[in-house]
Chain A
């Protein structure tokens, strides 16, 4: 693993090779391993070590980047040359800023440091440890006469960012993730969990829940498409919401590709919706600095249904101040959400917390019990954007979809296709649970509640 000292050593080596006006070096990588199982057998089992050095050079108002994992002097020299030669031949970009200073990077330092996200026990996990956990998952499957498929992955990684103006950032963390699908003859169930600390994961409990869903959804009925009240488990909620946050960057507004164009400061969601971005939240993960080394700030994105603030990289904040949108988007300042430069996206919030605005919380069981007729959704799949401004998304239900009647799960149902405006969706949320750290397949991990939502638009039914 990369140490902070070695990161500085690599940076000094690169500096000696560079003739650029300014220089930035990002170093990221580590060790990762993933044990994959299907048909109650470990069928793929991999491990990887890799470290990538990413060099950004600036000449005047021209910049380019080169990445390499060839960390010998020759490899680094070639990367420096590549970044510099691509930068030199460009036209000047008047909106490009000089690199951040330590003062820029430290603006708005949080009152509380993020919790440590590195756990030795997770970093030390072996293939045998993961196989042992998988063996217990398969044991649950066999006992229930089901077939298990899934993964158990662990990793340790680090990110270092240094620039020629003196910014120096270093972060390391571990990660553990389990995903389990239980397959029966005509049904299936699924569970997934992720944490920086493997000790927070309980493979057997996840396996038992997935198995129960597979068993309870056997012999699925076919319901007609239409608008239903749905109870969405947290994984389903996050996979839908994940499609919103690409639009929360200031550059998306400046580009007029965001569904929030002309909507910042407007109440477009229900009164019960609060959303913020906070890298320091105890259930979050990731580095506390952005792609230029700026400290990530806590930003309230939605306040009681009103879109209250965007997130900003340094350049986007400068451009926004001089734009026609400046008077309409609230407080403009770098928030530490930029991607490494140069890029076309700008920025986005990556540490999302969705918290019900009221103190009233309902468990998943209470949501089901309060539903006269509706559908319980475990997981969604293959979600894509149909319309970028109304934010209509399409996708499928998967691995545990149930009919709810008179407050009880009645039966499994065949999977639905939905076409649903997310603006309407967040107007129709009736009740929510406490937020939890959730993990899906269509979006990044978030802290979100389960939601009961009326008038969810199922447009078609598939054959299983």
Chain B
């Protein structure tokens, strides 16, 4: 592999590039899914290639090729330089990168059971067992189950001398039960919606998720939703389960702290951010108990945003994002850090694959659990009147990340500290900073879970990336509830 790097780095240098890096990626994925007892998907995929990024004439160029023979790699490097020179025709200043010492490293995701070493029959047995459990409940009209594995091996070299080899193993699994009756399609998912739970782990994750054990309950809830009353439209107290809070963090904290958005680099597609530079260390983002970090280190856990080095060769870091409610940090790259005068990138650049440039992506953007012991049961028992919402169903937020609206699969009335009736179609909406400032309780470590969001889209051409979000159930006051269904 090192020879491939030599071809690319040598060609780029010979053609006048001031900087060059190359990532060679060997990516393997397996996707298995069932639907109502038959195979919905059974696919194995491999992709190998190299992406070469250069700075020439003070501007960026990038070219990627699936052909790793010398002639093709050198042609791709030459094309990257040609592209950079074209970029330089429309620029207003020379590119600068925050300094970064070259690293040499070899890192692998901790993985107990290699998922690709597990027989497909075993994977299918688990999914079909879940499927039978789901469809054993009268009223279930559609049962979907799925499992995904990925092994992402990357070699990174730079003209500055970096030489980094990383192997990530990712496992995901989950299911959903649907019930159609009259004019309603109700749905319950486990352990999370839109594919379940994903982590940087091996097949051991599948066993820990207790998929089969929860299937019947989940299916029964999907059917029971038909007879549940509609979530009222009101202003009141909301308790979010940890998976929904994870997505709330993703959309209303994770994206607006991306420094490329703040600096206008994503304005045409993903949008910008309300977190303009003047708000750093001045904005009260949330209440005193809101503490959020962007942590890519192994110590944070096996999240989809855990790695040793980012795709610019910057080591994984833990950046305080919100500290006792105060906004304290952005996600940055070498280029954007230099642009705002920071001494170093916060190490968040990642690419979807060999054929995409790295972009600023969320690592594990997590809210820290409460320090005082507080279980979900305690939290509910200390709430006189409110709604407990579980599992995301819909999500939407404006392009500066102020106004959001989320729908959940299921809600539960809370009356005098007790869970009451099931509610269908729960939703809530608000303005980001008002919402986070209304948080008055969060459960402690035992209730905290590191969720994986495997489908975060950003960039042009669009890239899909996995991000991690640690969260515990939390309570919010004076929240606008139920307006989503005003559309009927």
Contacts and interface: CB of A to CB of B under 8 A. Distances in A.
A43 B63 CA distance: 14
A190 B272 CA distance: 14
Interface stretch (B200-208, B436-444, B479-487): B479-487
Nearest to B251: A382
A436 interface: no
A38 B89 contact: no
Contacts, number: 299
B460 interface: yes
A398 B357 CA distance: 27
Interface string A55-78: 000000011111111100001001
A392 B263 CA distance: 34
A69 B485 contact: no
B19 interface: no
Which of A35, A69, A179 is the most central at the interface, judged by chain B CB atoms within 10 Å of its CB? A69
Q: Please provide the 5 A-B residue pairs with the shortest distance between their CB atoms, ordered closest to farther.
A: A419-B487, A127-B86, A344-B40, A462-B403, A256-B180
A47 B79 contact: yes
B120 A392 contact: no
Contacts of A79: 44, 46
Interface string A8-37: 000000000000000000000100111111
B64 A382 contact: no
A77 to B, nearest CB: 12
A306 B248 CA distance: 39
Given A69-B66, A463-B403, A38 B264 contact: yes
B43 A67 contact: yes
Interface stretch (A87-95, A111-119, A285-293): A87-95
Contact of A179 (B86, B268, B355): B268
Contact of B90 (A37, A190, A386, A415): A37
Contact of A89 (B49, B120, B183): B120
B308 interface: no
Contacts of A322: none
Interface in B78-111: 79-80, 82-93
A80 B407 CA distance: 43
Interface stretch (A131-139, A294-302, A353-361, A362-370): A131-139
A410 interface: no
Nearest to A344: B40
B144 A344 contact: yes
Nearest to A92: B38
Interface of A: 29, 32-52, 62-70, 75, 78-79, 82-83, 85-87, 89-91, 93, 95, 126-128, 130-132, 134-135, 138, 147, 149-151, 153, 179-181, 183, 188, 190, 255-257, 261, 342-344, 381-390, 392-396, 398, 415, 417-421, 424, 441, 457, 459-464
A256 B264 contact: no
Contact of A386 (B85, B267, B484): B484
B372 interface: no
B431 to A, nearest CB: 7
A35 B461 CA distance: 10
A44 to B, nearest CB: 6
Contacts of A86: 32, 42-44, 120
Interface of B: 32-33, 35-36, 38-49, 59-67, 76, 79-80, 82-93, 119-121, 124, 128, 141-142, 144, 178, 180, 183-185, 187, 263-269, 271, 274, 355-357, 393-400, 402-403, 405, 407, 425, 427, 429, 431, 460-461, 483-488
Given A46-B461, A67-B44, A86-B44, A127 B395 contact: no
Contact of A418 (B67, B121, B271, B487): B487
Contact of A46 (B267, B357, B395, B396): B357
B265 A38 contact: yes
Contacts of A190: 268
B82 A127 contact: yes
Contacts of B178: 255-257
Contacts of B268: 36, 38, 149-151, 179-181, 190
Contacts of B460: 34, 36, 44, 151, 153, 179
Which of A40, A48, A343 is the most central at the interface, judged by chain B CB atoms within 10 Å of its CB? A48
B396 A394 contact: yes
Contacts of B398: 381-382, 396, 398, 415, 417, 462, 464
A426 to B, nearest CB: 14
A89 B400 CA distance: 49
A153 B461 contact: yes
